[in-house]
Amino acid sequence: MSDIRHSLLRRDALSAAKEVLYHLDIYFSSQLQSAPLPIVDKGPVELLEEFVFQVPKERSAQPKEQTKDSVRQIIFSSLFSPQGNKADDSRMSLLGKLVSMAVAVCRIPVLECAASWLQRTPVVYCVRLAKALVDDYCCLVPGSIQTLKQIFSASPRFCCQFITSVTALYDLSSDDLIPPTDLLEMIVTWIFEDPSVLQVLMTLQLHLTEKNLYGRLGLILFDHMVPLVEEINRLADELNPLNASQEIELSLDRLAQALQVAMASGALLCTRDDLRTLCSRLPHNNLLQLVISGPVQQSPHAALPPGFYPHIHTPPLGYGAVPAHPAAHPALPTHPGHTFISGVTFPFRPIR
């Protein structure tokens, strides 16, 4: 059929249509001699569509584009997937330069490949790429971060993966591992423009339930929460003498919100006692006390072991009930009762 098509392309529309019908007459006549019901192949149908119904051949451009994307992804992965050998240093150096250039010229196909690479590559290598980009756009040339900031609309997927890598890069363990102010402001701008980086946990419960994994697959490891809480506690101690009580309170509110969503969606699986022990090191916060003490709405889809989130039904300490030994908790005031339901948003207080 390809030879026939090339011949038809040299004809005018009317003669091409007549030629198609002539060839189809011969084609189906020969098929009828061998089978009572001839099979209509894709080739004749495409010829009819192109030369009789005048549908341009570009109708198949989308599948071809998808194929090109797949090939591009495979080549990119072959070039830059770490192999655990001496070539990895050269591989990572070249990757950093390529992605940095792609950001500079807003080359979307390369950014999309880099996003896939970041998603499936071990974090130690993702951190190296993130550091190379931060060095190029936050440190070397003042003001160049605006170039990085503008790619959000071009490749949100890359920006999402970049945020994840930056989070792993800056663990706040030293002055060198504190993110630059410009970088933080850029990420905040991205998140305000499209908060779906943040809302993924809200849709997670449905997906886990559909795959019968709700309550079985913890996507947020409890071990990762330990250094986070320890860092918040350390920073709170440092800010205490500076009359920064409002900032500390806001940080603890944010932590409580994140914990509530993670637990209610089934992303964070941990015992209530473990979470209480971990958060007991933090300054007192009403919202945090409410979250770690329950109750969280029970999901009807799957059962968790007793004592695990999100199945908690005991009333929170100091909320809606008088403790058995009130003198043992003088720092906790009595509060009115609360109905705590997952999925209900917390009051938002903007960061100042």
pLDDT greater than 70 at residue 317 = no
State which of 56-70, 84-98, 227-241, 307-321 shows the largest mean pLDDT. Answer: 84-98
Give the pLDDT band of residue 309 (cuts 50, 70, 90).
very low
Please provide the distance, in angstroms rounded to a whole number, between the alpha carbons at the two ends of the chain. 68
Q: Which two tokens stand for residue 152?
A: 């959000």
Helices assigned H by DSSP within the chain:
2-9, 13-34, 42-51, 61-80, 87-105, 108-120, 123-134, 145-149, 156-169, 181-193, 200-210, 222-239, 245-264, 272-279, 286-293
Share of the chain above pLDDT 90, in %: 25
- Rounded distance, CA 266 to CA 301, Å? 11
Tens digit of each residue's pLDDT (9 = 90 or more) over 201-225: 777 777 778 878 777 777 788 888 8
Distance set, CA 303 to CA 204, 286, 299 (Å): 17, 29, 8
What does the pLDDT average to over 155-170? 92
